[in-house]
Amino acid sequence: MSNITLHTLTKLKQSGEKFSVLTAYDATFAHIISSVGVEMILVGDSLGMVLQGHDSTLPVTLDEMVYHTTAVARGNKGSMIMADLPFMSYATDEQCMHSAGKLMQAGAHIIKIEGGAWLDRSIRLLADRGVPVCAHLGLTPQAVNKLGGYRVQGKDSASAQQMIEDARHLEQAGASMILLECVPSILGAEISRNVDIPVIGIGAGPDTDAQVLVMHDMLGITPGRRPRFSRNFMEGASSIEDAFRQYHAAVKDGSFPNQSEGF
C-alpha cells in the first residue's frame, strides 16, 4: 500500500468512497492496523482512559502524547497518523504552535484539537505553518466537566445549526478535516454534505465520510459497558488482525455503523 496522505483522503471523499480510522498507541498495533489497510491511525488522548485507567482524558500530558506518537510512527506501514493535542496544550497561540510542532516531529501527519468556532485562530496559525488540523466537534471529551458528562450533542435545532456553521467556519479557517463525536445521525449526514473536507464520525451515524473507533472498544476489551455506537468485531473473528480487517471492510461497504449504532 502506498502512503496515505491528506490528498488521498480528500480524493476518497470526492469519489464517495468511505475510509476507516482506528486508535493505536504503540508500534505493534500500529503495524497490524496499517497492514490491513486502515487508512488512518489516531493516537488519541483516549489513551488516558484505556491505557492509563483515568476516568477522563484530562490528565494526559504532551510528553505522553509525544511518546505514544513516536511509537506508533515506528510501527506504521503507510497509514496517515493523526495525533491529539491534549487538554490545555493549545490554550494560547504559543502553546498551540509549540505542542503541534512536537507531535509533528514525533511522526504525526495531522493534529486534532477539540472545540468550536473559537478554534479558528489556532487552525489558521497551524495551517499557515504547514500543519494540517482536524477540528473535533460535538462531544468534546476534554470539555466533559463543562458539558456535564459524556452526552450526545446537537440534539436541538439551535445547537445543530450552530455545529453546521462551526464546521463551515473552521473549514474556511483552514481545517483539513472534521471529527464529529456523538451527534444525531441526521446531523452527521448534514455536516458531511455541507463541507468539502473529509468528516470522520464516531457515534455520528452511517453517512459521514469515514468512521473511527477506539481500538479497545471494537476488540470488546474496554472495562464496563461498550458504547452503543461501537461494535465488538472480535465476535466471529479468528484473530485481532482479522477483527481489524473486518472493521475496515464493514466501514468500506457501509455496513458499519448500522442505524441502531447511532443516535
Full DSSP string of 100-120: HHHHHHHT-SEEEEE-SGGGH
- State in angstroms the smallest separation of the CB of 157 from ligand KIV: 25
For residue 211, the one-letter residue type is: Q
By CB under 6 A, is residue 113 in contact with ligand KIV? no
Question: Which residues 192-221 are close enough to bind ligand KIV by CB under 6 A?
Answer: 202, 212, 214
3 state SS of 235: coil
Query: Is 181 a residue that touches ligand KIV (CB under 6 A)?
Result: yes
Q: Is 230 in the site for ligand KIV (CB under 6 A)?
A: no
180 binds ligand KIV (CB under 6 A): no
**Closest distance to ligand KIV from the beta carbon of 101 (Å):** 20
43: helix, strand or coil = strand
- State the minimum distance, in angstroms, from the CB of residue 117 to ligand KIV: 19
Among 44, 86, 174, 262, binds ligand KIV (CB under 6 A): 44
Name residues whose C-beta falls within 8 Å of residue 161's C-beta, 6 or more positions apart in sequence.
none
Of 43, 46, 106, 109, give the one whose Cα is nearest residue 80.
Answer: 109
Using the structure block, give the residue that is written with the C-alpha cell 470488546.
Answer: 220
145 vs 157 by CB, closer to ligand KIV: 145
Identify whether the C-beta of residue 177 lies closer than 8 Å to the C-beta of residue 199: yes
Does 23 sit near ligand KIV (CB under 6 A)?
A: yes
Residue 163, C-alpha cell as written in the block: 455545529
Q: Which of the stretches 39-47, 116-124, 142-150, 162-170 binds ligand KIV when contact is defined by CB under 6 A? A: 39-47
Pick from 70, 96, 98, 97: nearest CA to 83 = 70
CA distance 241 to 200: 22
Is residue 235 part of the annotated active site? The answer reads no
Taking CB under 6 A as the criterion, the residue among 42, 126, 170, 175 binding ligand KIV is 42
Size of the site for ligand KIV (CB under 6 A): 11
Binding site for ligand KIV (CB under 6 A): 23, 42, 44-46, 84, 179, 181, 202, 212, 214
